[in-house]
Amino acid sequence: MAVLIPSRGTCAGRMTPGERRFSQRIEDKLEDDYVCWYDVPVGPSYRHPDFVVLHPNRGILILEVKDWKPETLAEIDRDRAVLNTERGRVVEANPLRQARDYAMEIHRLLQTDPALLQPAGHRREGKLVMPWGFGVVLTNISRSQFEQMELENCLSPASVICRDEMTESADAEGFQKRLWDMFMMPFPCQLTVPQIDRVRWHLFPQLRIQQQGELLPTLTPAIQTAPMEIPDIIRVMDLQQEQLARSLGDGHRVIHGVAGSGKTMILGYRCVELARRMHKPVLVLCFNKTLASRLEQLMVQHDVHDRVAVRHFHGWCKEQLQTYGVRTPPSQPSADRYAAALVDAVVAGLESNAVPRAQYGAVLIDEGHDFAPEWLQLVSQMVDPETNSLLLLYDDAQTLYGAGARRKFSFASVGIQARGRTTILRLNYRNTLEVLSVAKAFAEEVLAPQETDDDHVPVIPPESAGRRGPMPEIWKARNIWSEADLIAQRIADALANGANPNDFAVLCHSRSLADLVGRQLEKQNLPVLVASDQRRRELFNGDASVKVMTMHSSKGLEFDTVFIPGICELASRDADVDRRQQQVRLLYVAMTRALRQLEISHHGESPMVDQVRGVVENVSRQLAA
């Protein structure tokens, strides 16, 4: 069965009857290695061909589908068609000319990429490595009617599939041959996975991940005034991520993705698409203030900030109270108690109708694993029932807050109707095999698979995408100041060799340690930004800098090189099981922020040091074997 993007169930509602039948034939008659896109924007001009078909051994094909009937087609020439409709006579473009124009634009676009051209010395040197073609599907005109109407004068017979050639009983081989005959100059080809990714990079700019560490791809069409520089190494959503991003339908949805699986990237794509069509604002919530600031900045970059509100949960609660004139709670002995009082005040305001329900056209929740049940119950009431659009991103393995860490309530009990609408992303794209293997082996006790019911999102171990890099290191210094000085020296050496300060992050188990490390790095004249509450919004704006933050603040972020100092201060020998597992999760989250290089340091011995050292040594031996 061919891959159809978006899924047919998602886009069937906007298809014509003929398009629905043809999409069914595509899925039934084509093999697994065909990928077909329906009505998705293509290229920098955002063209919308009906179907784009890609096959690694055949090439790329553009198809226009028409539900014309013999009695409605009044006249046609090579440029236009005149139809008799209920609205009177309507003039449309000749669909073959339309498909040809789309195909030629795609051909010109792909020819700008040297990696998609035949190499020097090849008999087709400088030409595309794949054939290309275009055609028309006439869903209500049979081949005999086509001939009787003499449509071959305006539509090449070999470039047309007729009604009787796309029936459910049609021969699969014959159906495919109809498609193959549409190629301009067919020749054998064998597209590699990187070449297919390059084709998708050009065709679908909204799938691009522009640079290392960027959370979201380019989501809006670019207005190009000069030729675009094509990178040697390109990154795009993989097909599973693209299928999911394009196929998320209305209603309540849950995505359980392992660390580094692209959950936040999919959320960003969904967020911008919703912002374009929702009449009410879109709300994005997360627990982490730093991630909220990062997402807010990206919404500004994609020019949807006036329609998308990005907030960390407790900041949103306080904003609700202030907006609707509800008294904010008095100061409390602790930050946790004040945060709980904020939530209670909003819940009370909701019950008294002082705070209105259904304020947002859509609500998207990142870091849903850190949301308490009463928070989710509160937020689920903020979705407009007419749109009923709620998306929750979740990973139990990264839960850092709450006793026992793993969720002990059902989504249904808090108003989230997720049964049968949960997608699991198992593949980690962020980390190298070396980094992920160490993180996964270290956190084995909290990544153990568990029994689950239809509603529960299980803990699942991540699977590696196979990207390779250096082995993580664990090293010892005399004291914490020496650790910071050695980190500073390693960063300084890398910067002297051309590295960017934005590539480096130092993730600390406490704010006091982050302040200490930040001061030591500043003494070495390094450009440093410590992620205090006042400076979170500056993390990804302004001059390049080494980021120093707590492990908690790093959730959802990624950096080329990550340093984790002072692990000997984690999980003392007398720590209870819950506290130890919470710190294992915390260190697992910190480890999986590293795109390429992970360095862990300590100045004393502890059970945590012994565990990390043993894991690094074992993984190193296993990968070397």
Domains of the chain, first to last: 3-205 (no CATH), 238-425 (3.40.50.300), 463-624 (3.40.50.300)
Q: How many CA atoms lie within 13 A of 1 on its CB side?
A: 9
pLDDT at 454 over 60: no
- Helix, strand and coil content of the chain, in percent to the nearest 5, comes to 40, 20, 40
pLDDT at 70 over 50: yes
Chain segment 18-46, per-residue pLDDT in tens: 999 999 999 999 999 999 999 998 988 88
Cα 182 to Cα 158: distance, rounded to the nearest angstrom: 6
Cα 510 to Cα 550: distance, rounded to the nearest angstrom: 6
* Continuous segment of H or E residues that includes residue 377: helix 373-380
Cβ neighbours of residue 535 closer than 8 Å, sequence gap 6 or more: 529
Q: Judge whether 291 and 366 are in contact, CB under 8 Å.
A: yes
Residue 258's pLDDT is: 85
Report CA-CA distances (Å) from 192 to 114, 186, 196.
15, 18, 6
Report CA-CA distances (Å) from 392 to 255, 369, 557.
6, 9, 18
Residue 494's pLDDT is: 95
Residue 222's pLDDT is: 43
pLDDT at 220 over 60: no
Per cent of the chain over pLDDT 70 is: 90
pLDDT class of 213 with cuts at 50, 70, 90: very low
Q: Pick from 525, 621, 609, 499: which is nearest to 564 by CA?
A: 609
pLDDT at 298 over 50: yes
pLDDT at 486 over 90: yes
Residue 52's pLDDT is: 96
| Overall pTM > 0.85 | no
Chain segment 526-555, per-residue pLDDT in tens: 999 998 766 666 666 778 999 999 999 888
Chain segment 157-209, per-residue pLDDT in tens: 999 999 999 999 999 999 999 999 999 888 989 999 889 999 998 998 878 77
Q: In terms of DSSP H, where are the helices of 230-334?
A: 239-247, 263-277, 289-301, 313-323
Burial per residue of 450-485, b for 16 or more beta-carbon CB atoms within 10 angstroms, e otherwise:
eeeeebbbebbbbebbebebebbebeebeebeebbb
Report CA-CA distances (Å) from 255 to 62, 267, 562.
32, 10, 27
pLDDT at 280 over 50: yes
Residue 228's pLDDT is: 57
pLDDT, mean over the chain: 87
Mean pLDDT of 378-394: 93
Cα 64 to Cα 250: distance, rounded to the nearest angstrom: 27
Q: Pick from 60, 130, 140: which is nearest to 102 by CA?
A: 60
Tokens for 573? 């020998």
Cα 109 to Cα 113: distance, rounded to the nearest angstrom: 8
pLDDT at 453 over 50: no
Three-state DSSP state, 217: coil
